């Protein structure tokens, strides 16, 4: 059985980059090398970022999101996720939306959370380790 890793929005967005080739390659290797989990929140964020910042059409975004759904387990944000996010935000001083990501990763039993936005190497509840994959490209060769 492979190790489960929760994948944050930025990693998926980089898989679509035409200008950040190294980050695109690292992102794809990280996704391919683990049992990936993401959440309904991340699917929404991917859609928002690719439409607003990258100018993708919603037809293109739909295809990208379909690919994510075929590749990853999808965690649904529910009331328990939200309640746990409040606890995480209070304990770790994260912003609310980052806390939702962490909450979803914990609920899904992930060992790692791949994100560029949180503190690399930080351990959450002694079970989840945040990894900035771009600081450790050697892990994904």
With a pLDDT cut of 90, the percent of the chain lying above it is 95
Full DSSP string of 6-30:
EE-HHHHHHTT-SS-HHHHHHHHHH
| CATH code for the domain of 124 | 3.40.50.1010
> Could you tell me what percent of the chain has a pLDDT over 70?
99
- Is residue 38 within 8 A of residue 68, CB to CB? The reply is yes
Q: Could you give phi then psi for residue 71, rounded to 5 degrees? A: -95, -30
- In the prediction, which pLDDT does 85 show? 98
Domain that holds residue 78: 4-140
Q: What is the pLDDT of residues 74-113, one digit of tens each?
A: 999 999 999 999 999 999 999 999 999 999 999 999 999 9
Q: Helices (H), strands (E): how many in the chain?
A: 6, 6
Number of independent structural domains in the chain: 1
The predicted structure's pLDDT at residue 139? 81
């Amino acid at each position: 059985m492979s190790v489960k890793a929760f994948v944050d929005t930025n990693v998926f967005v980089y898989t679509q980059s035409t200008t950040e080739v190294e980050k695109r390659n690292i992102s794809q290797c990280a996704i391919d090398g683990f049992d990936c989990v993401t959440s309904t929140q991340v699917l929404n964020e991917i859609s928002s970022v690719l439409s607003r910042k990258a100018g993708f059409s919603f037809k293109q975004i739909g295809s990208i999101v379909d690919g994510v759904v075929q590749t990853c387990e999808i965690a649904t944000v529910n009331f328990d996720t939200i309640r746990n996010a409040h606890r995480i935000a209070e304990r770790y001083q994260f912003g609310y939306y980052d806390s939702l990501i962490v909450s979803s990763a914990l609920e899904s039993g992930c060992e790692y959370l791949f994100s560029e936005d949180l503190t690399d190497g930080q351990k959450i509840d002694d079970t989840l380790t945040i990894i900035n994959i771009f600081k450790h490209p050697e892990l994904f060769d």
